Structure 1
Amino acid sequence: MRELRDDSLVDLKFMMEDSGMGKTFLYSEIKHGRLPSPHKFGRASKWVYADYQNWKHSYFSPLQKAS
């Protein structure tokens, strides 16, 4: 696997595999403003890796503190 930089673009499939979350949940996070909207390239949607990582850390950190 290639190394991802902060400015790399990732797709929904990557985010679903990495986070364990489903498509519907991720899009609800966008709807509620917690995850940035994707950049559109034709029909493809891509997210900046740093934006995804920031969301992931903000989402999972409170869960880890609670357990």
Structure 2
Amino acid sequence: MRKYFISAIALHEERFRDTGITCNALITLDKLQEFCPMDDSFETLMKIVFDRILRVARNIADIDGSEMVR
């Protein structure tokens, strides 16, 4: 297991060289597409998941009596 983490850290170091980013958690929104390219099937899945999350958020806002989803 340790060798997988060491490999992942090496990937991070190479990927983020000269960016000021040190790990995936620190990727800014404007850099997501650059550092997290998606194939078509994954992008479709993400849109479906986002749609479902948004529907749940709409229900929660309705319960809260809010016109805006927050």
TM-score scaled by structure 1? 0.30
Q: Which has the larger radius of gyration?
A: 2
Greater relative contact order (Cα < 8 A, sep 6+): 1
TM-score scaled by structure 2? 0.30
Write 1 or 2 for the structure with the bigger share of helix.
2
